[in-house]
Amino acid sequence: MRLLPEITTPDRRIPFNERMVWTATCLFMFMVLGEIRLYGMEKGSTVDPFYWLRTLMGSQQGTLRELGVAPILTAGMIMQFLYGSRLISADLSRKEDRALFQGAQKVIVVLVALVQASLLVGAGAFGPIPTIGGLNALLLVAQMVTSSIAVMAMDELLQKGYGFGATGINTFIAMSVCEQILSSGLSFKTIDVGRGPEKEGVVLALFQLTFRDGISGLKEALFRTGAANVLTLLATVLIFALVNYFQVFRVELPVKHVKARSHSGMYPIKLFYTGGMPIIIYAAFMANAYLISQILYSMFPGVKLIRFLGEWEYSEFTGYARPTAGLAYYFSPPQSTVSIFTDPVNLIVFASSVPIFCGIASRMWLNVSGTAARDIARQLKDQ
């Protein structure tokens, strides 16, 4: 545990400008990790088990940011389960217990990164091991584990108060989402998903396809599959506006001091009390489930239990595998606008499972993060 990096809590109030510098530095370093290609991978390797959840994981395929924040989220989820089910006992209000809890979580982050990296390399995500060689396979695992430790340190740096945001995870994911939106909307990259060459960016593709094919091109730009379309871009803008609108909703509870009743105040409780953490935990859980399901299906495609968990199909046009049957299919989002109407069961299962899982994760997160009702009551009482 002592070998892992540890950020000490600042003993002074960090000035605004200094916090800006630390936040910008961490974001820049996180972005750089997404630009440095992994050494030892086979050129043209396109197998991508994490494709569906890369944005929420803050990851970038084939780079030092391959795992993103997934190891941190997975470790947090494991510790939540152990603490919530009382398999481990700890009083997080005590400094010593909290330090041990955080130290154990760091160890689990490294172990999870090691397991995920090994599974990716073993599954051939960077090329078959006989082709890339055993040494390169070990180097690939080492690079991903080392970069995960670096991301963990940057997350702790922001979490301890040196930067902005309650956690670095939210900041990194927000940057990843912004990158994805800009890339999907304005990318000049030319792709071919079976309909001829077209621009990857939605805005550019809208003009290109409309001028080239007229009404049919406009329809294609609105509903195209294999790449972002106008409908998904508009849905993103709408959801962004709704989230920002509901973000300001809150309930203010009157609070009075027990001894000095003349001293009173208001304690605000936001509608989105746990923020985006439950959906982030959901993404981490599904990323691990998808990875395991794909590996098992590639190794034992004829076993009924494995097929029940998920059947996968690789597309040469898109460069990623997609679930076609089994639990993995029904718990994944509809793959196109048309599939919403052709297979409504997929939509119903997905739309109902996400809120249920997030509700459970939200309850567990309250207990671990020290923001449950009893924890807030204790904090107010101690003031």
**pLDDT band at 274; cut points 50, 70, 90:** confident
| Cα 340 to Cα 122: distance, rounded to the nearest angstrom | 35
Between 16 and 192, whose confidence is greater?
16
pLDDT in tens, 173-212: 888 888 888 888 887 777 776 677 788 888 888 888 888 8
**Whole-number pLDDT of residue 132:** 86
CATH 1.10.3370.10 boundaries in the chain: 16-186+248-382
pLDDT at 151: 92
Instruction: With a cut of 70, say whether residue 254 has pLDDT above it.
Output: yes
For the ranges 18-22, 305-309, 318-322, 365-369, which has the lowest average pLDDT? Answer: 318-322
145 pLDDT more than 90: yes
Nearest partner of 185 among 168, 161, 162, 204, judged by Cα: 204
pTM (two decimals): 0.77
CA distance 291 to 323: 11
**Residue 275: what pLDDT?**
77
Mean pLDDT for 28-40 is 91
151-175 residue pLDDT tens = 999 988 888 888 877 677 888 888 8
Are 293 and 309 a contacting pair, CB within 8 Å? yes
Residue 138, pLDDT above cutoff 90: yes
Question: What pLDDT does residue 227 have?
Answer: 75
Q: What is the mean pLDDT of residues 84-91?
A: 74
pLDDT at 317: 58
User: 27: which 2 tokens?
Assistant: 């974001």
Res 204: pLDDT: 85
Q: How far apart are CA 185 and CA 187, in angstroms?
A: 6
Q: Hunting for tokens 């490294």 — which residue is that?
A: 110
Q: Is a pLDDT exceeding 60 seen at residue 46?
A: no
Query: How confident is the prediction for the chain on average, in pLDDT?
Result: 82
Mean pLDDT for 262-278 is 77
Both structure tokens of 170: 């939210």
What number does CATH give the domain 16-186+248-382? 1.10.3370.10
The pLDDT score that the predictor gives to residue 206 is 85
More confident residue, 281 or 143: 143
Q: Does 45 score more than 70 pLDDT?
A: no
Read off the pLDDT of residues 346-365 as tens digits, 9 standing for 90 and up. 889 999 999 999 888 888 77
- What average pLDDT does the segment 8-23 reach? 85
Contact 172, 155 (CB under 8 A): yes
Q: Which amino acid is at 301?
A: P
Average pLDDT, integer, range 250-275:
75
Q: Which percentage of the chain shows pLDDT scores above 90?
A: 14
Query: Hunting for tokens 């009173």 — which residue is that?
Result: 264
pLDDT band at 140 (very low <50, low <70, confident <90, very high): very high
pLDDT bin (cut points 50, 70, 90) of residue 367 is confident
* Tokens of residue 337, six digits: 């606008």
pLDDT (0 to 100) of residue 127: 82
